Amino acid sequence: MRASAIARLDASELDFASKAILTPASKTKKGRRHYMEGLPGNLWAWLERTPKTAFKMEPRTLATRRENAFRRAGYS
């Protein structure tokens, strides 16, 4: 999934019952909806604990937080 699509992801697009993410066509680069399934269980555990306000983050803020997380993990 592209970082730009992740930044536009809404909590309502997460299907916890079937462990899938449905991205509408309006939010993808090529203009086609995208359905992702078979994602790891630890992702869903993390997403369940993510506050809904985190899904309203600006793309620049998301990029900064991602950069800081990679730096803390030793990937910089």
pLDDT digits (tens, 9 = 90+) for 31-65: 888 899 999 999 999 899 988 887 887 878 878 98
- Mean pLDDT of the residues in the chain: 86
Strands (E), 1-76: 14-15, 20-23, 34-37
β-pair partners for 36: 21
Higher pLDDT among residues 58 and 11, named by residue: 11
> Amino acid identity, residue 64?
T
Tell the residue number behind the tokens 């592209």, with chain if given: 2
Give the predicted TM-score (pTM) of the model.
0.64
State the residue range of the domain holding 21: 3-72
Give the SS3 label for residue 70. Answer: helix
In the chain, the number of structural domains is: 1
3-state helix, strand, coil in the chain (%, to 5): 50, 15, 35
Residues in the chain: 76
How many Å apart are CA 3 and CA 70, to the nearest integer?
14
